[in-house]
């Protein structure tokens, strides 16, 4: 929340009715007029969530609203995530349509306004360039941004940076799913192995921000495919809320559609495809290896494997009969039916497991269950554990040496099971 410069209004993010601790529902912008004591939503007429939730491994995820007032207290500015992009928007305190001040396939992150209100600090970047600092000036044409820094210019000129192509596909139910494909240079000469990345959240989104991990994989000769299946932010509340309390259904249907799309591409070797993801992406990786043999390898990172046990050892406790129906002590059926480990009877996919012992969101025992199950079933597996000092966000905010170590573990696994075709 944030006070207006004139002290009359208080702007804040929230929603009325059913609450969603997982963020499946749209947060709206409210303004309370301290003169009248009346609060009203300024964004309830449009299907946007006032939180970007657009992921990158060059910064922490931004799931909360970022609000700023204009100097004259007439408008509230905020950041929106939409179709994988990040934009700066505003709305009048008196109501009316949301105005977009930026456009294009980029990510803009809102900072503070100058004292006179004429300029605004922001960061901006895209899939080929990490965010840099800009100063913006508002005009009738939009926001004119002037670049202040080029910290990575020399390095980017030395490296082979892949630029993804974006497309849309149809899922089995007719749902439109946005997909990005990042091709290595070698993919134009021969069929290449491919990796499907599934994002965490689940109520977040992949898109245009720079992703170091994707660039490392592409530079190593892999086609990297990523998408926003149902459950993702950035496509309206229905798309996001469609997996509320029902993981492994509509979301899995969309992941299967992306997998089918990958198989059809002439530059992808369909016999050398892998799936990987972290957090909920790890959940979906675990779900995939229990439901298909499409993938020659898998990597499950900071994963969820058993919703019943997770309900009691996460810093995000599963409150009975809220997001999921039932509870772990007397009505565990829904949680167990949606737990990937329930379907490990027929797993054959070689799987690398990565987890931090200091992960309070998805406790390391979630990974231990996967490792034990795969070992007992004779499935090729390896368990890489990082120390108690690392957290759920190690891949994006952990110590640089351990982040590099993690990437080497990933490349080593794929070298065995994708490049060498073991």
Burial class (CB in 10 A: 0-12, 13-18, 19+), 136: buried
Residue closest to 258 by CA, chosen among 190, 176, 165, 182: 176
What is the crossing angle of helices 280-289 and 250-264, to 10°? Answer: 70
Residue closest to 101 by CA, chosen among 60, 143, 68, 149: 143
| 53 touches 65 (CB < 8 A) | no
Q: Where are the beta strands (DSSP E) in 319-380?
A: 351-356
- Residue 259's SS3 state is helix
CA distance 91 to 392: 35
Which positions ≥6 away from 283 have C-beta within 8 Å?
202, 247, 277, 303, 304, 305, 340
Regarding beta strands 176-182 and 223-227, do their DSSP bridges make them parallel or antiparallel, or are they unpaired?
antiparallel
Residue closest to 226 by CA, chosen among 243, 201, 248, 249: 201
Residue closest to 196 by CA, chosen among 414, 422, 416, 415: 414
Q: Give the distance, in angstroms, between the CA of residue 54 and the centroid of all CA atoms in the same chain.
A: 6
| 29 touches 50 (CB < 8 A) | yes
Residue closest to 54 by CA, chosen among 157, 180, 182: 180
Which positions ≥6 away from 260 have C-beta within 8 Å?
none
Question: Active-site residue numbers?
Answer: 279, 392
CA distance 422 to 420: 6
CA-CA-CA-CA dihedral for 173, 174, 179, 183, to nearest 10: 90
- Which single residue is written with the structure tokens 């946005």? 178
Residues listed for the chain: 422
């Amino acid at each position: 929340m944030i006070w207006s410069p004139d002290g009359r209004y208080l702007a804040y993010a929230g929603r009325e009715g059913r609450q969603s601790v997982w963020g499946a529902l749209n947060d709206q912008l409210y303004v309370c007029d301290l003169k009248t004591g009346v609060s009203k939503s300024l964004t309830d007429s449009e299907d946007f969530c006032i939180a970007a939730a657009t992921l990158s491994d060059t910064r922490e995820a931004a799931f909360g609203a970022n609000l700023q007032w204009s100097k004259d207290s007439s408008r509230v500015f905020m950041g929106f995530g939409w179709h994988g992009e990040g934009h700066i928007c505003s709305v009048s305190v008196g109501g009316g349509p949301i105005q977009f001040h930026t456009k294009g396939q980029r990510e803009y992150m809102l900072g503070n306004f100058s004292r006179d209100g004429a300029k605004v600090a922001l960061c901006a970047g895209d899939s080929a360039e990490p965010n840099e600092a800009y100063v913006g000036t508002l005009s009738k044409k939009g926001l004119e941004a002037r670049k202040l820094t080029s910290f990575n210019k020399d390095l980017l000129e030395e490296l082979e940076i892949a630029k993804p192509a974006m497309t849309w596909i149809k899922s089995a139910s007719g749902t439109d799913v946005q997909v990005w494909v990042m091709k290595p240079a070698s993919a134009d000469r021969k069929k290449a192995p491919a990796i499907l990345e599934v994002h965490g959240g689940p109520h977040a989104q992949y898109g245009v921000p720079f992703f170091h991990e994707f660039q490392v994989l592409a530079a190593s000769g892999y086609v990297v495919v990523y998408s926003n299946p149902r459950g993702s932010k950035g496509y309206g509340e229905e798309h996001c809320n469609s997996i509320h309390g029902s993981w492994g259904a509509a979301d899995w249907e969309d992941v299967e559609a992306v997998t089918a799309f990958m198989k059809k591409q002439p530059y992808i070797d369909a016999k050398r495809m892998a799936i990987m993801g972290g957090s909920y992406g790890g959940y979906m990786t675990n779900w995939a290896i229990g439901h298909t043999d499409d993938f020659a390898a898998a990597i499950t990172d900071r994963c969820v494997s058993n919703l019943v046990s997770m309900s009691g050892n996460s810093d995000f406790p599963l409150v009975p009969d809220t997001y999921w129906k039932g509870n772990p002590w007397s009505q565990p059926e829904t949680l167990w039916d949606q737990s990937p480990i329930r379907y490990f009877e027929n797993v054959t996919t070689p799987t690398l497991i990565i987890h931090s012992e200091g992960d309070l969101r998805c406790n390391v025992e979630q990974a231990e269950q996967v490792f034990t199950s795969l070992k007992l079933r004779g499935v090729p597996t390896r368990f890489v554990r990082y120390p108690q000092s690392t957290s759920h966000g190690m891949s994006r905010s952990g110590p640089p040496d351990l982040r590099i170590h993690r990437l080497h573990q990933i490349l080593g696994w794929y070298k065995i099971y994708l490049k060498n075709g073991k």
